[in-house]
Structure 1
Amino acid sequence: MMNRLFWKIFLSFWISLILFAGAGLLAASLFLERTHAQDEIESPRDRHLTYINEARLVAKIEGIEGLKSWLKKLDRTEAIPFLLIDRAGKDLLDRPISSHLAERLDRRRKPRRPTDERRSPGRRDLIQVPGAGEYLLVPNFQAVTLNRVLSRPRVIAPPVIVAAIVSGLVCFLLAGYLTRPIRRLSNATHQFAAGNLSLRVASTMGRRRDEVADLARDFDHMAERLQILIGSQKQLLSDVSHELRSPLARLQVALGLVRQRQQHQTNAELDRIEHEAERLNELIGQLLSLTRLESNTQLTHSEPVDVAALLAEVAENADFEARAANRQVRTINNSLSATIEANEPLLRSALENVVRNAIRYTDENTSVDITLQHDPEHPGWLLVQVRDHGPGVPDDMLTKLFEPFVRVGDARDRESGGYGLGLAIAERAIHLHGGVISASNEPNGGLSVRIRLPLNQAK
């Protein structure tokens, strides 16, 4: 039970090897049967005389070269090799001659009586070749081996072809049987990693009862547990965020009442309380936005959005904020006209989060550059690039920038007012639009965030 798939693979290859071996034996058997059938119709001596007559005719018409060609053709078709031997005891095709055959030829060439020299048995086997002397056509029965039989193309080819087709079909079916569920599992893991936690694959395995089906069931069990855990985490985050809103609202009301009683006098402690309450309110708002984005699997509302116009508006608003910190936001080559089907507020929020993050970390007296173009590496996609001129981030943090609450430097983030949620919200929003967001360090300093959006969503 633990090795069901192992036995399927083992037996399939074993059967294929048996088929090939059986094909070889079948080929030899069929050839020998055909040879015996020919012998029943025509005796070996009669066939020998037929070949002698053919050889004489070829020698007379085509000479020694034609005789060589005829002999090669005969050698490819006959399991019994026929040697054409001259007076010196050499074969016309330089094939080896056994000592037993050489002795037998010597005895045949010697006449029994001087008066019977003209009627020597060897005379009937002689083949006169103009300009090349006399040759003797002799069958070499001792050279008939299994290897020679199997090496005849017309003998071995049909069974081997049949065996190859059958075994190839078996291997093809086995490969499909093994790879189809593995491809389903691979696609499922990609979709699961992309956020589709409700995906299950065991039902697509049919009646399989092997290790692959066990793996599919284990995957479903893992997916179910992860879905429950992540769902609980999201629900907890959402509940806590909502619960924090109520005491925070009461705190802000109480703060306003205190200020009224003091007739709006300046108080550093109250200002500090108000500042921290605003920050807490902003954090709760971002947490609620993140939980809403993570709970959605597709856009609830979409409309045609001009990406260039949206970027120009985001850049103008961000530039107004950046100038207060001796920074600026620029759009470069933003003349491209591109309209996609998107949720305008959600896409705007994603772009604003990325741009504000760049403003936060670019050096003073530098700019945040925003470019829009068709992606040169992916036809049919738009590429939005937001590049700052700050210190960048460590390479091992590039893939973690879009995770919630991830900070490159805690002290720097506290000073800048960041919570580690802006890029996470942007990543979820871009993902809902079918896009991809990534970050990389520039060679001459600074961080670039690239947002790719598919054009095929445009109506």
Structure 2
Amino acid sequence: MGFVVRELHLRSLFWRILATLWLALALVAGLSILLGRALNQDAWILSHHPSLQGLAERLVQRYEDQGADDTQRYLEHFRHRARIDVQILNDTGQLVVEGTFPHRAAAFEARQKNPRRLPWRRLTEEYTSPSSGESYLLIYRIPYPELDAWHRDSLLWPVSALGIALVVMTLFSLALTLSITRPLNRLRSAVHDLGQTTYQQDSLARLARRRDELGVLAGDFNRMGQRLQGLIGSQRQLLRDVSHELRSPLARLRIALALAERAEPQQREALWPRLDRECDRLEALISEILALARLDAEPGARHVIALRPLLEKLREDARLLAPDQEIRIDCAGDPQLEGWPDMLERALDNLLRNALRFNPQGQPVEVTVKEQASGLEITVRDHGPGVAAEHLAQLGEPFFRAPNQSGAGHGLGLAIARRAVERHSGSLRLGNHAEGGFIATLELPLPVNA
């Protein structure tokens, strides 16, 4: 598990950007150091100037083998060819080979306190002869024009290194830019498709497999797109169902009005109650449609809901509608949960009304509340005929009514209850009880005091 987390961290966009910037800075810093050494350090000049490479060894060997006069003639020839003045001192500081540096130039150098103002650069190199064991100090004086000309030629390698570094940095930057802009372009295209309602669910599947922040974003966006497509589809289906359901009461109202216009006064009086009933049905249907639509709106802040007082209130309200029916509540303790009281009350009220509608007299409607490890479980059971097994999967869909429920309600009560429970991050299961009757089971998240 730790290896997987570490791999995810290493592949994250944060570490990729950090590594790219760090490598770029390291290359720039390294090349800056190399360029600084190439331009400023004596050791760099001594080791890379073509006229000075191996010169100390050759001069000391020539001096020990052929003497000072021959070495002096060699230095004069060397001065004419390389334009570099050379002097050789022994370990006591005395000149053993006077070299080609003029006395007047030596006096001028001695008077100057700032060596940068001299027209030449003074370099020293110490060399110990392997044959005699004597130590010598070689002094080189290179005129600045000669040194500048060599610098221009010697900068070819640092400039080449800098060019290579720029190419590498460009490739790194290009790879990093493409790794960011390509997913963003895919996301932008997906946003455009989503706005045009042409979003395909698998359009971001490949991007969602990336194990970095963009992959997580693509996965979240993919789920959001699927959710929005589902909502759009459900809204379209709801509009079609609403238009279909509204046609029936409107058609009956139109027929009743047409009959009322042609009827005699006495017959017209008999039609008014029918018109009132159709208006009441239409008003009830519109109220349920609005209640279902409000469940998709932002409900506001959550509140603590005491479940026992809420069930007691619903039982008292139900007695006014069905005084002959008994509602038996089994609720131990005082369970609480967080949510929206009006929404949960509407869901439980619809379930109780549905149970009372099909429950036979003499049998109680049983409401049971259990506290479990996963949360609260609320069941509402009646002893009615139940629902055929082939129709159970469709229960809770807007405007769906089972064949034995065709004359009851508009098919929105269970849909409102299901939507309200889902807004509480819970679930609603509908089915037939093993001992007969119908049972609705609400599973809600853990209560506050759990």
Range class of TM-score, shorter chain: 0.3 to 0.5
TM-score of the superposed pair, with normalisation by structure 1: 0.44
Identify which of structures 1 and 2 has the higher relative contact order when contacts are C-alpha pairs closer than 8 Å and 6+ apart.
1
